[in-house]
Chains A and B, each alone.
Chain A
Amino acid sequence: MDALIEKLKKQIIEQLNLAEVNPDEVSADSPLFGEGLGLDSIDALELIVLLEKHYGIKIEDPKDGKVIFQSLRTMAEYIKAQGKG
């Protein structure tokens, strides 16, 4: 799980152009939105694309995103649960 979380962290920082974010300061349980990484609604769409592009996972119901994108850990758990991690 830890390796997947680290991989996700790098992918998110790269895909979302979070140039001033120090990966070492982002914990697995930090909120992705609001505080923590401070992502916005467009970033949420980009995370949906990231899951599809890198893990072949399609989120059909946008409401699921609220739970899946809480933190790096919840994302990693979701990917594992889909048998893709």
Chain B
Amino acid sequence: MYIITSYAHIKHHQVAVNGELIFKTEPTHSLSEFLSEAYKSMGIIYPKFHKMDAQCKLGLLCTEFALQNSSFLTNSSLTKTAIVLSNSASSLETDRQYQASIADKSNYFPSPTVFVYTLPNIVIGEIAIKHKLTGENAFFVTEKMDAQLLVNYADILLGQYAEAAIIGWIEVDGDSYEAFIFLVENGEYLNKNVIFKPLNQSTVNQLYNQTLWTH
């Protein structure tokens, strides 16, 4: 049976891991400042982080928080770990930035480093590169976090095409942002002390809707 072994949620300038708030900044911080502070708090050195757009930074950080203190990566095969993500705004925020950079024909210098992030699934690539994951992947654009879709797709992959999965919702649209990532592994091979959260629509919705935020 496949189970959720760890999860992280980022919203309202706060980070929660496995249902506990572990990091926050002042709500007056910009998204960029918040992401930078959250990155520093992890104590990791990954210079490529600073080159990413906000959506990739958010997705990478949320994944890192979910992986922190987890044995997911040592339990899982790099070639059999799937990444399945979703959001509603696609890459709209970076699309806007790119559009702004080419709007003035007298000052027309399209930025290649902005352009490469004008696709929503680039965040999957950034997570895969960071951890050398080469398994199946998919990115869905849906109106809201659709637990049924994510769980159904994971069910198709797990057991046949993948042994573990990083799944979630990564959304950036103007000032609005949210990231929710959960890690799925085969419960049969895990230490029995691991907290048992079966992979199903009800569990995913319950974890996603936990009220954790202090502001």
Q: Is B29 part of the binding interface, using a Cβ–Cβ cutoff of 8 Å?
A: no
Which B residues between 89 and 124 are near A, CB-CB below 8 angstroms? 109-113, 116
**For residue A49, which residue of chain B has the nearest CB?**
B109
Q: Which 10 A-B pairs have the closest CB atoms?
A: A45-B112, A19-B50, A17-B50, A20-B47, A53-B109, A17-B51, A46-B113, A42-B112, A46-B112, A49-B109
Chain A residue contacts of B50, Cβ below 8 A: 17-20
Known: A16-B51, A17-B51, A19-B50. A43 touches B45 (CB 8 A): no
CB distance from A36 to the nearest CB of B (A): 13
Cα–Cα distance between A38 and B116 once the two chains are bound (Å): 18
Rounded to whole angstroms, the CA-CA distance of A62 and B45 in the bound complex is 32
| A43 neighbours in B (Cβ, 8 Å) | 113
A selection of 21 A-B contacts at a CB cut-off of 8 Å is A16-B51, A16-B113, A17-B51, A17-B113, A18-B47, A18-B50, A18-B51, A19-B50, A20-B45, A20-B47, A38-B47, A42-B113, A42-B116, A45-B112, A45-B113, A46-B111, A46-B112, A46-B113, A49-B109, A49-B111, A53-B109
Is A3 engaged at the interface, CB distance under 8 Å to the other chain?
Answer: no
Instruction: Kindly list chain A residues whose C-beta atoms are within 8 Å of the C-beta of B116.
Output: 42
Q: Which residues of A contact B110 (CB under 8 A)?
A: 49
Q: Which residue of B lies closest to A43 (CB)?
A: B113
- Residues in B with CB closer than 8 Å to A29 are none
| Closest chain B CB from A15 CB (angstroms) | 8
